[in-house]
């Protein structure tokens, strides 16, 4: 009998290598290769199967392209990130930290769909039927007609999907599902990839919309993960601090809609409720301005959000630390270098910590100016004036570049009672906005000068 052949699979990208290496040859990640047993390939018998019958070749113009019909889930914020609703045969991956509300949101969405007369199925691999029922009670859905299956074996789940033909099915979670065809443990990269591939195929052939729940590792990636992101149509991530009640759901990939759209929810005693006007929820409430805090207006997705950026600059040791929560750390290092070179503000011997309040993750560079102003404010121990905010991207040459849709950002801040702003020159409005004093700047040193003059 042939000996089992061991291969090494990357837990990040799923790439294979015949021997152990410190660095994955496929994605370059370090220390991610884990031993697994090579699955016997079906080679030999059906070597020419691929040649047997192929789909007809068609001219692009002759193919009927009907826009996919969307079914709204009845939860406006969820529909917003989904691009209008669920799509027949679409596969959605929804990731997030444990306890952030994935199961809650999906149960609420399924119940709403069931009420609209859709046929739904909730497959739970983590909780028993009784636990799901308990959650439904808590959500006030005692009479829910959602069908529940507590199962983790892929073949059985596929058989149930086949038999029940639901229009929407939730698999909670993909890491608990395992296939008998593979020898590796549930949750391993090979299992997750294989199971997701089978479920995706089932979705495409039956027209069922399948929503996969995925866990996130400590590093913030979906466990077993990138492979899944390629396979599915839509990837949504839950963000936010589990200690605060607000949750963001962000679309990071969407074949049927816009990416970077965000939905905002509040976790209440009775489940997640959409927040339709979220612009002010990420501001912490200081009665008087404090040093090291600068408000910015971020515009990810279609709505502006005001977020407070906090910085703490404190004397550090020989190798000072740069830490950021919710912002990119490499970007922080770059901003500190620009601050030093172009504005003469040195933090070489200081620890620098920055944080976006409320667990939001800001990826757009328009946060740069606010980060810099928060850092200098902390360093000087001087608060920025009351009602102050800033936004704008900063380049390596010290220039301040405009942020997209600046007018919308300014108007939103003015609406919330903000009164002083430092913004990129190109974002300065032609017509004055009532109640708002705008300082338009072209360079970092100019921004620093303005702030010094303000107090």
- Can you tell me the distance from the alpha carbon of 444 to that of 368, in angstroms, rounded to the nearest whole number? 10
If one asks whether residue 102 binds ligand TYD (CB under 6 A), the answer comes out as yes
Q: Which of 78, 112, 121, 139 binds ligand TYD (CB under 6 A)?
A: 139
Residue 124 Cβ vs Mg ion, minimum distance, rounded to whole Å:
8
Name 76's bridge partners. Answer: none
If one asks whether residue 326 binds ligand TYD (CB under 6 A), the answer comes out as no
Q: Which of 67, 180, 269, 434 binds ligand TYD (CB under 6 A)?
A: 269
Instruction: Please give the span between the terminal C-alpha atoms of the chain, in angstroms, as a whole number.
Output: 81
Residues in the chain: 455
Structure tokens at 75: 């939860």
Select 272 or 313, whichever has its Cβ closest to ligand TYD: 272
**Interface with Mg ion (CB under 5 A):** 103
Q: Are 191 and 178 in contact (CB under 8 A)?
A: yes
Q: What is the size of the binding site for ligand TYD (CB under 6 A)? A: 15
Select 270 or 386, whichever has its Cβ closest to ligand TYD: 270
Q: Computed over its alpha carbons, how large is the radius of gyration of the chain?
A: 25
Which does residue 101 bind out of Mg ion, ligand TYD, none, counting CB within 5 to 8 angstroms by kind?
A: ligand TYD
β pairing state of 91-96 and 209-215: parallel
Three-state SS annotation for 167-189? CEEEEECHHHCECCCCCCCCCCH
- Can you tell me the distance from the alpha carbon of 195 to that of 190, in angstroms, rounded to the nearest whole number? 8
Q: Which of 100, 157, 379, 436 binds ligand TYD (CB under 6 A)?
A: 100
> Which residues, other chains included, contact 423 with Cβ-Cβ below 8 Å and sequence gap of 6+?
369, 390, 391, 392, 403, 406, 410, 438, 439, 440, 441
Which does residue 78 bind out of ligand TYD, Mg ion, none, counting CB within 5 to 8 angstroms by kind?
A: none
Q: Are 238 and 102 in contact (CB under 8 A)?
A: yes
If one asks whether residue 382 binds ligand TYD (CB under 6 A), the answer comes out as no
DSSP letters for 353-387 = EEEEGGG----SGGGHHHHHHHHHHHHHT-PPPTT
If one asks whether residue 236 binds ligand TYD (CB under 6 A), the answer comes out as no
Which does residue 99 bind out of Mg ion, ligand TYD, none, counting CB within 5 to 8 angstroms by kind?
A: ligand TYD
- 112: nearest Cα among 174, 68, 167: 167
Residue 165 Cβ vs ligand TYD, minimum distance, rounded to whole Å:
26
> Which residues, other chains included, contact 276 with Cβ-Cβ below 8 Å and sequence gap of 6+?
76, 77
Residue 277 Cβ vs ligand TYD, minimum distance, rounded to whole Å:
21
Measured from each CB, the residue nearest to Mg ion is: 103
SS3 439: strand
Q: Quick one: DSSP state of residue 120?
A: E
Select 14 or 101, whichever has its Cβ closest to Mg ion: 101
Q: Interface with ligand TYD by CB under 6 A: which range of 17-25, 64-72, 99-107, 374-382? A: 99-107
Place of tokens 């495409």: 204
Select 103 or 184, whichever has its Cβ closest to Mg ion: 103
Select 169 or 294, whichever has its Cβ closest to Mg ion: 169
- Backbone dihedral angles phi then psi of residue 296, each to the nearest 5 degrees: -125, 165
H-helix segments, 70-153:
76-82, 102-115, 129-138
Which does residue 278 bind out of ligand TYD, Mg ion, none, counting CB within 5 to 8 angstroms by kind?
A: none
Select 215 or 409, whichever has its Cβ closest to ligand TYD: 215
Residue 269 Cβ vs ligand TYD, minimum distance, rounded to whole Å:
6
Q: Are 258 and 83 in contact (CB under 8 A)?
A: yes
If one asks whether residue 103 binds ligand TYD (CB under 6 A), the answer comes out as yes
Residue 173 Cβ vs Mg ion, minimum distance, rounded to whole Å:
7
Which does residue 100 bind out of Mg ion, ligand TYD, none, counting CB within 5 to 8 angstroms by kind?
A: ligand TYD
Residue 193 Cβ vs Mg ion, minimum distance, rounded to whole Å:
21
149-178: contacts with ligand TYD (CB under 6 A)? none
> Which residues, other chains included, contact 40 with Cβ-Cβ below 8 Å and sequence gap of 6+?
none
Q: Phi/psi zone of residue 133: left (φ > 0), alpha (ψ -120 to 50 degrees), beta? A: alpha
Select 121 or 139, whichever has its Cβ closest to ligand TYD: 139
Q: Are 179 and 155 in contact (CB under 8 A)?
A: yes
Q: Interface with ligand TYD by CB under 6 A: which range of 50-58, 60-68, 132-140, 285-293? A: 132-140
Q: Interface with ligand TYD by CB under 6 A: which range of 11-19, 46-54, 177-185, 263-271? A: 263-271
Which does residue 129 bind out of Mg ion, ligand TYD, none, counting CB within 5 to 8 angstroms by kind?
A: none
Q: Which of 137, 270, 340, 452 binds ligand TYD (CB under 6 A)?
A: 270
Select 132 or 294, whichever has its Cβ closest to Mg ion: 132
- Contacts with ligand TYD by CB under 6 A lie at 96, 98-104, 135, 138-139, 267, 269-271
């Amino acid at each position: 009998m042939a000996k089992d052949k061991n291969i090494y699979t990357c837990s990040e990208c799923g790439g294979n290598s015949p021997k152990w290496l410190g660095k994955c040859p496929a994605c370059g990640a370090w220390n991610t290769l884990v031993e697994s047993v090579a699955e016997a390939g079906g080679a030999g018998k059906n070597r020419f199967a691929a040649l047997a019958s192929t789909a007809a070749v068609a001219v692009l113009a002759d193919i009927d392209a009907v826009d996919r019909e969307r079914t709204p889930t009845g939860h406006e914020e969820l529909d917003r990130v989904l691009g209008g609703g669920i799509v027949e045969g679409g596969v959605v991956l929804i990731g997030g930290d444990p306890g952030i509300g994935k199961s809650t949101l999906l149960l609420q969405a399924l119940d709403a769909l069931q009420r609209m007369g859709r046929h739904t199925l909730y497959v739970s691999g983590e909780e028993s039927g009784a636990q799901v029922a308990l959650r439904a009670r808590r959500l006030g859905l005692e009479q829910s007609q959602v069908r529940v299956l507590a199962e983790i074996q892929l073949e059985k789940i596929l058989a149930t999907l086949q038999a029940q033909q639901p229009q929407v099915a939730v698999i909670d979670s993909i890491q608990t599902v395992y296939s008998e065809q593979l020898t590796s443990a549930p949750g391993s990269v090979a299992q997750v990839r294989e199971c997701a591939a089978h479920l995706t195929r089932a979705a495409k052939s039956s027209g069922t919309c399948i929503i996969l729940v995925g866990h996130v590792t400590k590093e913030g990636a979906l466990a077993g993960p990138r492979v899944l992101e390629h396979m599915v149509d839509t990837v949504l991530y839950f963000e936010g601090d589990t200690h605060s009640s607000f949750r963001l759901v962000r679309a990071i990939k969407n074949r049927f809609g816009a990416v970077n759209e965000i939905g905002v929810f509040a976790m209440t005693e009775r489940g997640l409720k959409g927040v339709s006007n979220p612009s002010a929820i990420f501001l912490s409430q200081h009665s008087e301005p404090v040093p090291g805090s600068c408000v910015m207006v971020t515009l990810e997705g279609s709505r502006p959000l005001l977020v407070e950026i906090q910085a703490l600059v404190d004397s550090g040791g020989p190798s000072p630390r740069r830490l950021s929560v919710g912002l990119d750390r490499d970007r922080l290092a770059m901003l500190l270098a620009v601050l030093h070179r172009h504005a003469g503000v040195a933090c070489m011997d200081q620890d620098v910590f920055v944080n976006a309040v409320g667990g939001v993750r800001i990826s757009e560079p328009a946060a740069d100016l606010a980060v810099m102003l928060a850092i200098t404010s902390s360093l000087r121990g001087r608060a920025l004036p009351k009602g102050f905010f800033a936004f704008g991207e900063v380049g390596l040459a010290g220039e301040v570049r405009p942020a997209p849709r600046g007018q919308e950002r300014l108007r939103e801040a003015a609406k919330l009672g903000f009164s002083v702003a430092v913004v990129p020159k190109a974002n300065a409005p032609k017509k004055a906005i009532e109640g708002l004093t705008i300082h338009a700047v072209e360079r970092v040193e100019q921004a620093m000068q303005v702030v010094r003059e303000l107090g």
